Amino acid sequence: MTASATTPQVRHVSLAAPFQDQKPGTSGLRRPTPVFQQPHYLESFLEAVLQTLPGVQGGTLVVGGDGRYGNRRAIDVILRMACAHRVGRVITTTNGILSTPAASHLIRTSLGCVGGIILSASHNPGGPEEDFGVKVNGANGGPAPEQLSNAIHQATLTLQGYAVAETAAIPLDQPGHHRLGTTVVEVVDGVEDFVVLMQKLFDFDQLREFLGSGFPITFDALHAVTGPYARRIFEDLLGLPAGTVRHGAPLEDFGGGHPDPNLTYAKPLADALLQGDEFSFGAACDGDGDRNMILGRRCFVNPSDSLAVITAHATQVKGYGQGLAGVARSMPTSAAVDAVAETLAIPCYETPTGWKFFGTLLDAGKITLCGEESFGTGSDHVREKDGLWAVLFWLSILATERCSVATLMERHWATYGRHYYSRHDYEEVEQTAAAELYGTLQRQLPRLAGQPLAGDRIRQADEFSYTDPVDGSTSSRQGLRILLESGSRMIFRLSGTGTRGATLRLYLERYEPNNGALNLDPQTALAPLIHGADQLAGIRQHTGMSTPTVIT
């Protein structure tokens, strides 16, 4: 253990005025990096966290990030502020690399841990001119619930200053123990514990045999946090050839790309699977490792369908053989999983967007699996969505079924019918234009029921609000729903993770029974709804955009 020679001096810095823009969004506080680099900005938010999170003094905190520009500096600031706040122990990782699901696991397994601080803006690009972010997790390992985030925000609004210790930077290049005043800093390997957890949930012998039997796969880490985890799992433990993991070295700017595993931002991978024949399976994860994209040869798996498939096959997988307590999906996620839950006769919950809303259900043992349309899938093994877990789950199913991804999907739809689904994102829309589009539609809602739309009729139009079945807390204003008589629907939401202008998300869904047309292109199957949505909300007119930025 290295110890600072003397007890570090604590400096109290006063703010000329508290920051008024530190309200966390869907998942943490995300801002362009230059905003976080303003004097006192990061410190102010951290001070509010340290004042608000219960049990900080004397407690244990987990700290790490996705390796983006600013990661190292932020860890240094957190360690010095933790010392000033007399945190008992801070667990951080070599080079500060820690995926969001691995952080969740570390929080849950570390004695006396009161929560964690994850430095990531997730799928947003990184670098000096791109985005940075701070996510705060509670003692259960999950994202701060709304009440905690609101309390942190309230604290920032009236903050007069912050306390920080004057110490030299702690080296993070290798595991070890250090002492900063009364605070112990433990630097641990951020990969190993997580990999052990995966080995408990999945049969690695079966996977090794299957993957070695002529089922070539490729994984794209997009130069983000999952690189070291994926190399360890796929190349070291499952014996796949070096190079199976593409872009495996975490870079501060993710190589200049968006670390967002979708068809637009992970195009080289998508092209390899959708146009080439080299691989039977491909996958990618996002900046902080909680999202996943699953691809088969000539087959893209829609994330809503992925949750349904995982649910349908769960008992074939080692860690889930005892069956599922229930499942949950976010409101805009398609009802594909609902159909499976009905067959399995297990409860299916519908929550607002954001992983934080699954926490109470997971903690209460009401659900085992949950997911979102935004490439997020997970289970009760941690309290975050988990990209590599989803990839291993899919491979485990394929190892039992011994068929292609496309065949698995065809069989699934032939059993449950198909929920055609797509999300259209309009990014960097001018704030006022987006607010006007949303507000205009919101005001129309009470008059919409009974009106014709998209060759159908509107059954119900409302703004989604949610009462948590476990703790009774309520969350309103969670997206505008237009539900049609046929069961089709369209949802309008404004993103809570974007940092430039506004992002409008339009979610479209149409059900086709299992004796219907199951092999249409989703954009074709949804064409009347796409057109109807524009008619109803004037998307082109308000945004000035004729096509979405990203289509999933």
Cα-to-chain-centroid distance, residue 27: 8
Q: Which is nearer to ligand VG1, 85 or 493 (CB)?
A: 493
Binding residues for Co ion, rule CB under 5 A, total 5
Q: Which is nearer to Co ion, 290 or 373 (CB)?
A: 290
Q: Kindly state whether residue 374 participates in binding ligand VG1, applying the rule CB under 6 A.
A: yes
User: What is the three-state SS of 261-288?
Assistant: CCCCCCHHHHHHHHCCCCCCEEEEECCC
Q: Kindly state whether residue 376 participates in binding ligand VG1, applying the rule CB under 6 A.
A: yes
Q: Kindly state whether residue 131 participates in binding ligand VG1, applying the rule CB under 6 A.
A: no
Residue 44 near residue 199 (C-beta atoms within 8 A): no
Q: Kindly state whether residue 372 participates in binding ligand VG1, applying the rule CB under 6 A.
A: yes
Task: For residues 298 and 267, give the distance between their C-alpha atoms in angstroms, rounded to a whole number.
Answer: 14
104 is catalytic: no
| In the complex, least distance from residue 289 CB atom to Co ion, rounded to whole angstroms | 7
Which one, of 501, 478, 467, 538, lies nearest residue 332 by Cα?
478
Cα-to-chain-centroid distance, residue 41: 24
* Sheet strand arrangement including 376-379: 348-351, 327-330, 369-372, 376-379
Binding residues for ligand VG1, rule CB under 6 A, total 18
* Sheet strand arrangement including 480-484: 452-453, 456-463, 480-484, 489-494, 502-512, 418-429, 550-551
The 496-525 site mask, x for binding ligand VG1 (CB under 6 A), equals xx-------x--------------------
Q: Which of 286, 305, 338, 386 binds ligand VG1 (CB under 6 A)?
A: 286
Which single residue brings its beta carbon nearest to Co ion?
122
Residues of span 230-289 touching Co ion by CB under 5 A: 286, 288
Active-site residue, selected from the candidate residues 104, 122, 280, 379: 122
DSSP label of 7: P
Task: For residues 155 and 312, give the distance between their C-alpha atoms in angstroms, rounded to a whole number.
Answer: 44
Q: Which is nearer to Co ion, 133 or 522 (CB)?
A: 133
| In the complex, least distance from residue 286 CB atom to ligand VG1, rounded to whole angstroms | 5
Distances in whole angstroms, Cα of residue 67 to Cα of each of 98, 128, 160, 207, 498? 8, 13, 31, 29, 19
360: partner contacted, choices ligand VG1, Co ion, none (Cβ within 5-8 A by kind): none
Residues of span 291-350 touching ligand VG1 by CB under 6 A: 291, 330
Q: Which is nearer to ligand VG1, 118 or 163 (CB)?
A: 118
Residues of span 90-129 touching Co ion by CB under 5 A: 122
In this structure, what token pair is assigned to residue 223?
């130069």
Task: For residues 487 and 336, give the distance between their C-alpha atoms in angstroms, rounded to a whole number.
Answer: 12
Task: For residues 52 and 158, give the distance between their C-alpha atoms in angstroms, rounded to a whole number.
Answer: 13
Q: Kindly state whether residue 65 participates in binding ligand VG1, applying the rule CB under 6 A.
A: no
Residue 302 near residue 334 (C-beta atoms within 8 A): yes
Q: What is the DSSP pairing of strand 217-220 with strand 245-246? A: parallel
Q: Kindly state whether residue 27 participates in binding ligand VG1, applying the rule CB under 6 A.
A: yes
The 458-497 site mask, x for binding ligand VG1 (CB under 6 A), equals -------------------------------------xxx
Residues of span 213-242 touching ligand VG1 by CB under 6 A: none
DSSP label of 235: I
505: partner contacted, choices Co ion, ligand VG1, none (Cβ within 5-8 A by kind): ligand VG1
The 141-170 site mask, x for binding ligand VG1 (CB under 6 A), equals ------------------------------
Just list the catalytic residues: 122
**Interface ranges with ligand VG1 (CB under 6 A):** 26-27, 122-123, 286, 290-291, 330, 353-355, 372, 374, 376, 495-497, 505
